[in-house]
A and B are shown apart, each in its own frame.
Chain A
């Protein structure tokens, strides 16, 4: 990719937005899973944070 070409900022912004939204969805899915699996483990007396 030629970074000196016109409109490079649009390409970088498009990929940046893609990374942010995909990364956000991944982090949110993982955080929610850790929360409920931890609560489930505590409820069953295992005290863990889930896997």
Chain B
């Protein structure tokens, strides 16, 4: 093993990797900040409504999905907790929103970083979004019945 060559590969490669990531992360963070400061989020109820309708959840549950989708799961969870505290989301909403967000969140940052190391950006993005939408759609139909059953059993038990 040629130690000098290995160390050289480590240092050069390490710096190259960081640089490659920095030139993506900086512009992305500025764009996200612009979206936040222009309050573009408050103007997108036309985007959250179709989401809510597709998954058959309350209108308020659409916003955590959009927040998490763009800014990441931590922000999404923050929005979920906020909506839940306001009483705007029921248990079924919680499951549906969580299902979607675990599969698909922070799409710009994650997707672009993996594309930077050599993944096909269209395939990873489309496949992930499609998988999340398909699974969440199925779950949203399934949880409805399941939840109803659970509630009956619970009230029966209580009664």
Question: Is B a genuine binding partner of A?
Answer: no
Interface residue ranges, A against B (CB under 8 Å):
none
